[in-house]
């Protein structure tokens, strides 16, 4: 099996725009939150275009609401396609969740019941989205804090069935697996071992807040040791996979995040040695 591995990326955040442009850090690509750049113009968008000249970009959305019972938002899809035409991202991703209904947006990634009804509903909508965009998308597993009584299968069975039916790919968030495992009491390795490696195109790594009884996916901390351990096991299972750190709050200096990214590089090196084929290593001037 060959897989495109784009190396090690970071979530591009406002605090780092200038640093990235001025210092050209050792990062293979940046991931942007799609909706932040669905604006007419201005400084952030200009920064994105500047950074795009030097780095490949992944586009990561939070508003597709693929699981919602509302009709697909065609205006949103048109804007998504327009931005993708501008940015030419390596991947477009969003989350396996719903974010609202009745035209009200919770601005949160709300869990779906793991039911046949939801599988069919989501798969059908992914097919429509992919047809519209003319490309495959990645769906990310979200962290969750509750299970509906309607659920008929595990989360890993749910996501596996959907991606097979819709023929899309997976952005596997390793931290989210850990967070959900703690909150629901399952073994995270059961999750990882059940996912088809051919479907996994990207990893997210992030920090969380541990409250003892439960864990919240806050993205405002360094990556915790158990998540690093799980990342190593995921590399063994899925092979070398594009990996990035997603920090959304309590944002440290860019150098600190790159140091954290170097930990991921070190783990990858430990697993694969130097035998990693980077599909599209960034050209350096």
- Residue 131: Cβ within 10 Å count: 9
CA 259 to CA 251: how far, in whole Å?
Answer: 14
DSSP letter at 70 equals S
213-272 residues near another protein, rule: CB under 8 A: 213-214, 216
Min dist. Cβ of residue 100 to another protein (A): 7
Determine which residue in the list 40, 85, 274, 284 makes contact with another protein, applying CB under 8 A: 40
Would you count residue 142 as binding another protein (CB under 8 A)? no
Would you count residue 102 as binding another protein (CB under 8 A)? yes
Give me the sign of the Cα torsion angle 97, 122, 34, 197. positive
Residue from 238, 249, 240, 248 nearest 267 by CA: 240
Mark residues 70-89: x for contact with another protein by CB under 8 A, - for none: ---x--x-------------
Min dist. Cβ of residue 41 to another protein (A): 4
Residue from 262, 197, 193 nearest 223 by CA: 262
Judged by CB under 8 A, the number of residues near another protein is 48
CA 114 to CA 177: how far, in whole Å?
Answer: 16
Would you count residue 104 as binding another protein (CB under 8 A)? yes
Decide whether 149 or 274 has the Cβ nearer to another protein.
149
Burial status of residue 130 (CB atoms within 10 A of its CB: 0-12, 13-18, 19 or more): middle
Min dist. Cβ of residue 17 to another protein (A): 11
Decide whether 29 or 178 has the Cβ nearer to another protein.
178
Give backbone dihedrals phi and psi of 171, rounded to 5 degrees, phi first.
Answer: -100, 105
Stretch that binds another protein, among 85-93, 99-107, 237-245, 250-258 (CB under 8 A): 99-107
Residue from 83, 67, 73 nearest 32 by CA: 83
CA 5 to CA 193: how far, in whole Å?
Answer: 20
- Residue 103: Cβ within 10 Å count: 9
Task: Give me 134's structure tokens.
Answer: 């003319």
Stretch that binds another protein, among 40-48, 84-92, 223-231, 232-240 (CB under 8 A): 40-48
Mark residues 159-198: x for contact with another protein by CB under 8 A, - for none: ------------------------xxx-------------
Task: Give me 191's structure tokens.
Answer: 């999750």
Would you count residue 15 as binding another protein (CB under 8 A)? no
Would you count residue 69 as binding another protein (CB under 8 A)? yes
Which residues here bind another protein, judged by CB under 8 A?
35-36, 38-46, 63, 67-69, 73, 76, 98, 100-108, 110, 112-113, 115, 117-118, 120-121, 145-151, 183-185, 213-214, 216
């Amino acid at each position: 099996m060959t897989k495109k591995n784009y190396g090690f990326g970071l979530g591009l955040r406002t605090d780092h725009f200038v640093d990235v442009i001025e210092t050209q850090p050792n990062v293979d690509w940046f991931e942007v939150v799609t909706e932040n750049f669905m604006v007419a113009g201005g400084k952030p968008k200009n920064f994105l275009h500047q950074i795009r000249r030097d780095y490949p970009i992944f586009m990561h959305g939070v508003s597709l609401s693929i699981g919602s019972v509302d009709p697909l938002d065609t205006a949103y899809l048109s804007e998504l396609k327009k931005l993708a035409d501008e940015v030419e991202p390596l991947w477009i991703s969003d989350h396996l969740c719903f974010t609202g209904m009745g035209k009200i947006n919770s601005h949160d990634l709300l869990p779906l019941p793991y039911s046949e009804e939801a599988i069919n509903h989501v798969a059908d909508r992914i097919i429509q989205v992919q047809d519209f965009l003319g490309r495959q998308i990645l769906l990310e597993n979200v962290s969750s804090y509750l299970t509906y009584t309607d659920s008929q299968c595990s989360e890993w069975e749910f996501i596996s069935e959907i991606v097979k039916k819709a023929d899309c790919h997976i952005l596997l968030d390793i931290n989210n697996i850990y967070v959900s495992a703690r909150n629901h009491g399952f073994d995270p390795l059961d999750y990882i071992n059940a996912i088809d490696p051919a479907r996994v195109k990207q990893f997210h790594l992030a920090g969380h807040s541990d409250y003892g009884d439960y864990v919240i996916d806050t993205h405002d901390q360094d990556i915790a040791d158990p998540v690093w351990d799980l990342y190593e096991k995921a590399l063994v299972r899925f092979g070398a996979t594009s990996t990035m750190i997603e920090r959304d709050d309590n944002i440290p200096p860019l150098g600190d995040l790159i140091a954290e990214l170097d930990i991921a590089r070190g783990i990858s090196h430990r697993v694969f040695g130097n035998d990693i084929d980077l599909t599209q290593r960034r050209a350096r001037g």
